Amino acid sequence: MEGTSNIQEKTECEDLQRAYELESVGKKNLLSENYADAVADLSEACQIFSELFGDLSEKCASVQFAYGSALLGLAREESAVLANEGESSDEEEENPSKEEEEPSKLGKNGEAGKLDKQKVEKKSVEQVESEKTEDKEENPNETLDQDEEEDVSNLQVAWEVLDLARQTYERLYSNGEEDAGKKLANTLRALGEVAMESDNYPQAIEDFGKCLEIQVKVLPSDDRAISETHFNMGSAYSCNGEITNAISSYKTSISILEEKMSNLKKEASSSETEEAAKKAAMEEIEDITRVISDIKERMEDTVEAKKEVMETIDLVKPAVEKKVYSAVFGGDMSEFGETTSGFDVPSIGSAESVATSSSVKSVNLITAVKRKAPKAEENDRSDEKKPKVEP
């Protein structure tokens, strides 16, 4: 018995050492935006940590957060690739290649060659399908497992993993653990970004809101992380059709950056500040100036979109009123003049909700990276549902 126990302890020790190595390499890949390799390393590390300590262990939270962040980055990359492929397909449809036009110029020979090629392609496809059918018959269980894995998106796994981390950090934060507040805020921010990528804007607004509640308690009032969260909140509001709230969030984000810039200017002009610190402060001031300009441009676009929608509604409204009156009462409204004199017109939809078409998803202001979350019904945060990974 004692020998068996020693072997088990040695195995666990080796597994733990490998998990730490994988975590280290995975986080480096994450920082260098090598998301595919980061996901592979951190996934294995998470599995080992969970088997040794349990999903909600404090030792798992950090690697879970990193794993979820890597999955989010990978999902964004895949989304960008699909978007580019769609644009390429549109261009090809508009400008057919010379190869497609050539057979018509070659006449019969060209047509014959094209038919031969189609036969070969058809045969090749039939062979592939036949091979796939044989593989399924030989290994039905393996095929089923692969299908189940494909059904789970990177965003869904990211949400599950980050939610595990959220539960752990919430427990530690409530117990007064040092730095747990910052880690919880970062996790909630990441969950909000996953929600944005999944087009679940109400959930994103909720997550960013909770993140802000903690950030204002644990961070300096001029911290750029708070400004970034307000900006992301503004993007979520905009995508959800709440333009007024979006503009308010953008303005708050700018005011925090302006406060930060003012403090940096004081630091740079102080005689007690070292030259290296002065240089760093001036560089950050330049960066903040660019960010403020970008936010103002985004805010102007949002306001302009709302204005255009309002103008469109004003143009369409009289025609809608006449059609509704005719459908309900018969005849026309000429006897009452051009106005409806208190006639209530059915809602065409708020200008804010219509203006969302010009909105964009939340963006990380520091890395300038764009960012879709599981559907609302899948985002139940009860303890019964276990996300797969944590921060």
CA 332 to CA 324: how far, in whole Å?
A: 10
Tokens standing for residue 45: 């590390």
| Rg of the chain over all Cα atoms, to the nearest angstrom | 28
pLDDT of residue 71 exceeding 80: yes
C-beta separation of 80 from 40 below 8 A: no
pLDDT of residue 122: 45
CA 38 to CA 26: how far, in whole Å?
A: 4
Angle at 188 between CA 257 and CA 223, to 5 degrees: 20
Range of the domain at 226: 201-371
pLDDT of residue 82: 81
CA 125 to CA 104: how far, in whole Å?
A: 25
- Stronger pLDDT, 158 or 380, i.e. the higher one: 158
Residue of 286, 288, 270, 287 whose CA lies nearest to 278: 270
- Stronger pLDDT, 219 or 374, i.e. the higher one: 219
Place 373 in a pLDDT band, splitting at 50, 70 and 90. very low
Give the single-character DSSP code of 338. Answer: S
Contacts of 383 (CB under 8 A, 6+ apart): 167
pLDDT of residue 347 exceeding 80: no
Per the structure, how many domains does the chain have? 1
Place 64 in a pLDDT band, splitting at 50, 70 and 90. very high
Place 104 in a pLDDT band, splitting at 50, 70 and 90. very low
In a domain, 180, yes or no: no
Kindly provide the residue ranges of all beta strands, DSSP E only, lying in the chain, ordered along the sequence: 363-364, 369-370
Count CB-CB contacts under 10 A for residue 357.
Answer: 10
Contacts of 283 (CB under 8 A, 6+ apart): none
In a domain, 346, yes or no: yes
What average pLDDT score do residues 83-110 get? Answer: 56
Count CB-CB contacts under 10 A for residue 257.
Answer: 24
Residue labelled with tokens 């014959």: 112
What average pLDDT score do residues 300-310 get? Answer: 83
C-beta separation of 196 from 373 below 8 A: yes
CB hemisphere CA count around 356 (13 angstroms): 19
Place 207 in a pLDDT band, splitting at 50, 70 and 90. very high
Distance from CA of residue 329 to its chain's centroid?
A: 49
In a domain, 154, yes or no: no
pLDDT of residue 357 exceeding 50: no
Tokens standing for residue 391: 């921060």
In a domain, 230, yes or no: yes
pLDDT of residue 346: 44
- Mean pLDDT (the chain) is 77
What average pLDDT score do residues 109-136 get? Answer: 49
Assign 3-state DSSP to the chain and report helix, strand, coil percentages, each to 5.
80, 0, 20
Q: Which of 31-45, 80-94, 207-221, 342-356 has the lowest mean pLDDT?
A: 342-356
In a domain, 86, yes or no: no
CA 376 to CA 69: how far, in whole Å?
A: 20
Place 374 in a pLDDT band, splitting at 50, 70 and 90. very low
pLDDT of residue 345: 42
In a domain, 271, yes or no: yes
In a domain, 319, yes or no: yes
For 16-61, how does the pLDDT look when each residue is reduced to its tens digit (9 = 90+)?
Answer: 999 999 999 999 999 999 999 999 999 999 999 999 999 999 999 9
C-beta separation of 85 from 182 below 8 A: no
% pLDDT > 90, the chain: 52
% pLDDT > 70, the chain: 62
For 168-185, how does the pLDDT look when each residue is reduced to its tens digit (9 = 90+)?
Answer: 999 999 999 889 999 999
Q: What is the 3-state secondary structure (H, E, C) of 252-275?
A: HHHHHHHHHHHHHHHHHHCCCCCH
CA 59 to CA 50: how far, in whole Å?
A: 9
C-beta separation of 195 from 204 below 8 A: yes
Place 203 in a pLDDT band, splitting at 50, 70 and 90. very high
What average pLDDT score do residues 247-259 get? Answer: 96
Q: Which of 222-226, 265-269, 332-336 has the lowest mean pLDDT?
A: 332-336
Strand partners, 364: 369
In a domain, 17, yes or no: no
